[in-house]
């Protein structure tokens, strides 16, 4: 039985995480609606029903409405807080059209952001705080000061990063006294650079591969939990209509279906299980808010254990659209 880094550290044993980016209907600066509350309750309860106890937020999701909706659900379910692992992120400042305007890892911004997150979620502590995207102006000593303050005040138990390379993590870790326990990146069957990057050592091909060198190895060596965002690829291989002429996607989706039939499970569990078979014990952050789709992910850990090396490679090369080099 494989053990995830967060499990080794006693932080979480939830093999899947529910991503909370879509809990509210939109990113408009308007109050929560009854529909937002219903969607949140149904998604959270579907996740709990299949053993998901970890939830991924960010202060920007739906312009803070995702955290607010989750906080309302939590307030209506006394006794649940201690059973859940809540993760959120800070550091992105949005423009009016909700694209990132700039990043801010200053001490004061981090401290203020966490106060806002705790208030919206209605909790006294966050289990994990992630820095959302690298800020070119980041100063490790300033971040370290903020983390120390948050940790000593009992507001945040663990810290991590998102979308960072290994050298950026090493750079920060030299100043920060708490271990960085998570790196959340785009990882999935439709975003294969995390694997392709390792195939091209000493070869001229692959110049367009875009994944920081050594991230997978560094995180595995340091017991840092790799989390994959976007792991369902927005349904690309699990039922969303394939664009005419896109043979690579059509062939991959057909093989996902074939495997689901053979393994007596769903296409969603195959797509996630393929990612989870990687030895880094990646934790997928699934972004569905549809209860049926969330429940369709329930066999993914079993698929990860049972998928053969041959089928894992077959799916990888189908999705690459190319044979192995
Ligand atoms: N760290 C970062 O920078 C970062 C960036 C983006 C996201 N995230 C995190 O990762 C989580 C997941 O991201 P994601 O939402 O992009 O990933 P995802 O899990 O790949 O996709 C989920 C989305 O795809 C839709 N979908 C799935 N299967 C479908 C199908 N067969 N047909 C039609 N639609 C389908 C879902 O709709 P339904 O809801 O209707 O199922 C949902 O909107 C987010 O919630 C967030 O927590 C992190």
Strands (DSSP E) contained in 149-218 are 156-162, 180-186
Count of H helices and E strands in the chain? 13, 10
The pLDDT value recorded for residue 205 is: 78
Tokens matching residue 144: 């370290």
Tokens 């980041």, residue?
138
Handedness of CA 135, 288, 291, 261 (dihedral sign): negative
pLDDT of residue 1: 58
DSSP track, 36-84: HHHHHHHHHHHHHHTT--EEE--TTGGGGHHHHHHHHHHHTSTT-GGG-
Cα 147 to ligand 1 centre (Å) = 29
The answer to whether the CB of 59 is under 6 A from ligand 1 is: no
The dihedral built from the CA positions of residue 158, 162, 165 and 168, taken in this order, carries a sign that is negative
Residue 287 Cα to ligand 1 midpoint, Å, equals 3
pLDDT per position as a tens digit, 145-164: 999 999 999 999 999 999 99
Sign of the C-alpha dihedral computed for residues 161, 305, 9 and 82 taken in this order? positive
pLDDT tens digits for 170-186?
999 999 999 999 999 99
299 touches 266 (CB < 8 A): yes
Q: Is 237 designated active site?
A: no
Helix (H, G, I), strand (E, B) or coil at 171: helix
> Between β-strands 92-94 and 100-103, what pairing exists: parallel, antiparallel or unpaired?
antiparallel
Q: What is the pTM of this model?
A: 0.97
The pLDDT value recorded for residue 91 is 97
Pick out the chain residues at pLDDT < 50: none
Q: Which atom of ligand 1 is nearest to the CA of 286?
A: 19
What is the whole-number distance in angstroms between the Cα of residue 211 and the centre of ligand 1? 21
- CA 10 to mean position of chain CA atoms: 19
Which residue has 């998570």 as its token pair?
A: 182
Q: 54: which 2 tokens?
A: 């970890």
The answer to whether 177 and 149 are in contact (CB under 8 A) is: no
> Residue 225: CB within 6 Å of ligand 1?
no
Please tell me the residue having the least CA distance from ligand 1 atom 36.
288
Ligand 1 touching residue 229 (CB < 6 A)? yes
Distance 261 CA to ligand 1 centre (A): 24
Helix (H, G, I), strand (E, B) or coil at 283: strand
Only one residue has tokens 């990612």, namely 275
Using CA positions, which residue lies closest to atom 10 of ligand 1?
229
Cβ–ligand 1 contact at 257 (below 6 Å): no
Which of the residues 61, 103, 218, 237 is marked catalytic?
Answer: 61
Of the candidates 266, 182, 274, 287, the one whose C-alpha atom is nearest the C-alpha of residue 226 is 182
CA angle 185, 190, 196 (to 5 degrees): 75
Neighbours of 154 (CB within 10 A): 9
* Cβ(167) – ligand 1 distance below 6 Å: no
């Amino acid at each position: 039985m494989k053990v995830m880094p967060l499990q080794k550290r006693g932080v979480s044993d939830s093999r899947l995480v529910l991503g909370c980016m879509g809990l509210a209907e939109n990113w408009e600066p308007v109050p929560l609606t009854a529909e937002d509350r219903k969607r949140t309750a149904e998604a959270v309860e579907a996740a709990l029903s299949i053993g998901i106890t970890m939830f991924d937020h960010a202060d920007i999701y739906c312009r803070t409405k995702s955290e607010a909706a989750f906080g309302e659900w939590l307030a209506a379910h006394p006794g649940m807080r201690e059973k859940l692992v809540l993760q959120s992120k800070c550091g992105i400042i949005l423009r009016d059209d909700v694209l990132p305007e700039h990043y801010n890892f200053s001490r004061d911004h981090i401290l203020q952001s966490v106060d806002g997150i705790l208030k919206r979620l209605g909790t006294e502590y966050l289990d994990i705080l992630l820095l959302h995207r690298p800020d070119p102006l980041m100063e490790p000593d300033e971040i370290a000061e903020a983390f120390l303050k948050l940790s000593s005040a009992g507001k945040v138990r663990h810290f991590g990063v998102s979308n960072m390379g290994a050298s950026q993590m090493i750079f920060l870790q030299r100043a920060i006294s708490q271990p960085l326990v998570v790196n959340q990146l785009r990882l999935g069957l439709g975003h294969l650079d995390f694997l392709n990057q390792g195939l091209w050592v000493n070869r001229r091909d692959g110049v367009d591969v875009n994944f920081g060198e050594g991230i997978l190895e560094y995180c595995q060596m340091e017991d840092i939990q790799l989390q994959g965002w976007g792991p369902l690829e927005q349904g690309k291989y699990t039922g969303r209509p394939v664009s005419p002429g896109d043979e690579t996607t059509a062939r991959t989706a057909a093989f996902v279906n074939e495997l689901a039939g053979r393994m007596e499970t769903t296409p969603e569990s195959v797509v996630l299980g393929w990612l989870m078979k990687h030895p880094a014990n990646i934790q997928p952050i699934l972004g569905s808010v549809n209860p049926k789709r969330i429940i369709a992910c329930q066999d993914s850990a079993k698929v990860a254990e049972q998928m053969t090396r041959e089928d894992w490679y077959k799916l990888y090369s189908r999705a690459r659209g190319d044979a192995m080099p």
